[in-house]
Amino acid sequence: MSEKVIMDPLGIGRALSRIAHEIIERNKGTEGLALVGIRTCGIHLARRIAEKIKEIEKSEVPVGVLDITLYRDDLLTRKGHPAVRKTEIPFDLAGTVVVLVDDVLYTGRTIRAAMDELMDFGRPAMIQLAVLIDRGHRELPIRADYVGKGVPTSKTAVIKVLLSEEGMEDRVILRED
Amino acid sequence: MELKRKDLLDIKGLDQEEIGLILDTAESFKEVTGREIKKVPTLRGKTVVNLFFEPSTRTRTSFEIAAKRLSADVINFSVSGSSVSKGETLLDTARNIEAMRADFIIIRHQASGAPHILARNLRSSVINAGDGLHEHPTQALLDMFTIRERKGKIEGLTVAIIGDIAHSRVARSNIYGLTRMGARVRIAGPPALIPADVETLGVSVFHSMEEALSGADVIMVLRIQLERQGKNYFPTLREFANLYCLTEGRVGHAKGDVMIMHPGPVNRGIEISPEVADGLSSVILEQVTNGVAVRMAVLYLLSGAGEKLS
């Protein structure tokens, strides 16, 4: 088993800065833009990106929180249930461009659940996807619009995103068996 | 943490952690019930059967709404006009329902222990919606949820339960739950309606309303169950009202921020005065709202454990 740090605090900061710039560039500003983080790490990343956008554009982008547990496709087949927590979308989705934010993009199933849940809250004008890590192995036709780092992995590998908001030093770890 | 149970039969068998988990989960489901689209796909394809052998509007509707908001299919099995009136036994009725692939059976029955018989004999998850004089676990859970939501905690609070304790499964479930969560529970009512040896459950008994209510954080008024009383436990309803009706004057003995609860249906002017039932301290309708979230949480948590056990 080998463990490798593939992103350090500086690397994570730079990636998020670039993603913030790309979001602004692609959407020609922040008008009608909102970020929605997927629990738990996605929320922290969404808030950091919103902070960076504010530094660059001097405008606030609203941030929402999505708990996709109730929309998972494996709820009734996996053993035991994950804890359910709250979804908070404190703005009107109608006509909004929503950037979903998650830490790792893998099979794409989480994103499918997130999009389904988001649609139940309203009809956004567009949904985009930002992830810190894209590790491949998609099981659904889903791709990210903004990627911090693409990391080729084997299916047995584990990627861990540690963030200071969770009481750890910022880093991304790749563990191969 | 998860609930490692197939059934929810009583509060007595739940530990502090399990109650805490149900209440925490219910908090998230309350958020769902506040959405514009109050429906999530979580229990899609699951079937919930309401099997009610006693009249009920609130509890049955609450379970039905809870199941529908989780996208389950709900069937209400009404006992009148069914094969039960042709002499079918409880277990046969339930086995037939299970044979139609019901995942959950929610049962209310006049006999204490009826849900336990089903739970032992069926693979379906069984939820007790009130059995005889025994327990009504989801009512106690929604009461505890409402208290925790309002007061921020349960531990250390003084809760006075007033009225017909002996015939109340709501009282019994709440006594088990509240004492387990660290509340001080007082009970008060006519001596004939206080069960013998009830102190062994960890409550203190009062026969004077003023003493029972003095300094209380929560007052839980029970319904005088007229239909359950074959005998005379007190001379007249008017005398009961004179001695035990929760009036504004009596509420004055409790703490200023007291919350007043009632499981419904309310007999206005008998166990609680209309001014108190509709007053600012009353959370009676909040209890009903919270009931849906708590029942969603119970269905959700049992559905996971059921898979694990089978």
Q: Is A94 on the interface with B (CB under 8 A)?
A: no
Instruction: Write the pLDDT tens digit of every residue in B169-213.
Output: 999 999 999 999 999 999 999 998 999 999 999 999 998 999 999
**Mean predicted confidence (pLDDT) in B241-253:** 95
**Mean predicted confidence (pLDDT) in A36-59:** 96
pLDDT for position B52: 93
pLDDT for position B309: 41
A91 vs B231 pLDDT, higher one? A91
> Measured between beta carbons, which residues in chain A are less than 8 angstroms from residue B1?
83
pLDDT(B162) > 70:
yes
Q: What are phi and psi of A30, to 5 degrees?
A: -120, 5
Instruction: Write the pLDDT tens digit of every residue in A29-43.
Output: 999 999 999 998 999
Q: Residue-wise over B111-146: b if at least 16 C-beta within 10 A, else e?
A: eeebbbbbbeebebbbbbbbbbbbbbbbbbbbbbbb
Q: Is B39 exposed, middle or buried (0-12, 13-18, 19+ CB in 10 A)?
A: middle
pLDDT for position A74: 83
pLDDT for position B80: 67
By C-alpha distance, the chain B residue nearest A75 is B42
By C-alpha distance, the chain B residue nearest A69 is B42
Check CB contact under 8 Å for A70 and B32.
yes
Q: Is B257 on the interface with A (CB under 8 A)?
A: no
Q: Which of A75, A80, A122 has the CB atom closest to B42's CB atom?
A: A75
Q: Is A155 on the interface with B (CB under 8 A)?
A: no
**Mean predicted confidence (pLDDT) in B282-302:** 96
Instruction: Write the pLDDT tens digit of every residue in A140-166.
Output: 999 999 999 999 999 999 999 999 999
Least confident of B19-28, B57-66, B224-233, B266-275: B224-233
> Measured between beta carbons, which residues in chain A are less than 8 angstroms from residue B26?
none
Instruction: Write the pLDDT tens digit of every residue in B89-110.
Output: 999 988 998 999 999 999 999 9
pLDDT(B307) > 70:
no
Mean of all residue pLDDT scores within chain B:
92
Q: Is B31 on the interface with A (CB under 8 A)?
A: yes
pLDDT for position B78: 75
Check CB contact under 8 Å for A81 and B304.
yes
Give the per-residue SS3 of chain B. Answer: CCCCCCCECCCCCCCHHHHHHHHHHHHHHHHHHCCCCCCCCCCCCCEEEEEECCCCCHHHHHHHHHHHHCCCEEEEEECCCCHHHHCCCHHHHHHHHHHCCCCEEEEEECCCCHHHHHHHHCCCEEEEEEECCCECHHHHHHHHHHHHHHHCCCCCCEEEEECCCCCCHHHHHHHHHHHHCCCEEEEECCHHHCCCCHHHHCCEEECCHHHHHCCCCEEEECCCCHHHCCCCCCCCHHHHHHHHCECHHHHCCCCCCCEEECCCCCCECCCECHHHHCCCCECHHHHHHHHHHHHHHHHHHHHHHHHHHC
Q: Is B2 on the interface with A (CB under 8 A)?
A: yes
pLDDT(A139) > 90:
yes
Mean of all residue pLDDT scores within chain A:
94
Size of interface A-B (CB pairs under 8 A): 57
Q: Is B293 on the interface with A (CB under 8 A)?
A: no
- Are B104 and B125 spatial neighbours (Cβ–Cβ below 8 Å)? yes
Calculate what percentage of chain B has a pLDDT beyond 90. 79
pLDDT-based confidence at residue B82 (cuts at 50, 70, 90): low
What's the pTM value of the predicted model, to 2 decimals?
0.89
DSSP string, A20-59: HHHHHHHTTSSTTEEEEEETTHHHHHHHHHHHHHHHHHS-
